[in-house]
Amino acid sequence: MQKLLMLFIGHQLMFTAHLLASAGMDQTICIWNVWSRDQKKARVFSFHNAAVKDVKWSQQGLFVLSCGYDCSSRLIDVEKGIETQTFKDNQVVGVIKFHPDNSNLFLSGGSKGGLRLWDVRTGQVVHEYIRGLGPILDVEFTIDGKQFVSSSDVSGGNVSENSIIVWDISRQVPLSNQVYAEAYTCPCVRYHPFDPYFVAQSNGNYIAIFSSSPPFKLDKYKRYESHRVSGFPVKCNFSLDGEKLVSGSSDGSIYFYNSQSSVLVKKMKAYEQACIDVAFHPILSNVIASCSWNGDVSVFE
């Protein structure tokens, strides 16, 4: 493994073919030129007025969408270096995700449990999903874009009903009931790119597996375990070919699993502090980016 970047900032990571976007608690979004030997930091955007929680590339790789503690989401033209639109909210926005089939739509989740589908053309909310949830930890669209799954902090509510919910996008209603009955929050949810299941990173120190069809049953006989979560917002991601699942860990290591068998294939020590996010390169399956709790960003090959 060759470490290409061990630099500054980054609690959320997102790749395009040669650029890496990171969001930081210092209120900035950094665009990194992964393959540059000299000028690693291609752009720095300081449009937010508080810490940035999440950042996502648009499908074409021309824009990044970010959100954070200033109760807003912001669309930024990366090449021009300008903010093109601001989406004001009534809560800290912790997670955002573009719709897989319509780049004009994105989903946001926030600290008051609000889930909203926005249209970037109008800057308005198209749908709102109401359930009385705790803070939203993550959201993920199904492959066909007709549903999405949300994960929320349910420490003060009914764990079995509200920790993980599958929603119908157009009807704005939950399709699930008691998907995950364990008394753990799940900081990350991810759909497999091809197969009919999704996973949830659990604070029980494992990744749970669920069917993507109603009633979204938990697989009681298989899960991914060896890494540690220990209360950190540890993320996991599938490779584009769906063959691998990679996860961060509170012990500072990166864990590689065979997605089909759930067997641990490889463990790699990356940081002294918790590794909280790992992302595969969208084209090169042997390249990953990761970041640590103390703000280091690394790319491994």
What does the pLDDT read at residue 181? Answer: 87
Residues 89, 197, single domain; the answer is no
How big is the CA angle at 85 (ends 118 and 105), to the nearest 5 degrees?
25
Span 252-268, pLDDT tens digits: 999 999 999 999 999 99
280 in any annotated domain: no
292 in any annotated domain: no
CATH classification at residue 107:
2.130.10.10
| Number of structural domains the chain divides into | 2
Residues 107, 168, single domain; the answer is no
Query: pLDDT class for 155, splitting at 50, 70, 90?
Result: low
Q: What is the mean pLDDT of residues 54-72?
A: 94
- Tokens of residue 198, six digits: 């999704």
- Residue whose entry in the numeric block shows the structure tokens 């119908």: 168
Residues 101, 185, single domain; the answer is no
**pTM of structure:** 0.91
Residues 217, 143, single domain; the answer is yes
What does the pLDDT read at residue 278? Answer: 94
Residues 119, 136, single domain; the answer is no
Residues 139, 107, single domain; the answer is no
The candidate with the shortest Cα–Cα distance to 142, out of 93, 97, 208, is: 97
CA–CA dist 192, 179 (Å, integer): 17
The candidate with the shortest Cα–Cα distance to 255, out of 216, 225, 221, 220, is: 225
Residues ≥6 apart with Cβ < 8 Å to 38: none
230 in any annotated domain: yes
Residues 33, 121, single domain; the answer is yes
103 in any annotated domain: yes
Average pLDDT for the chain: 90
204 in any annotated domain: yes
> Domain range for residue 3?
1-125
Residues 137, 103, single domain; the answer is no
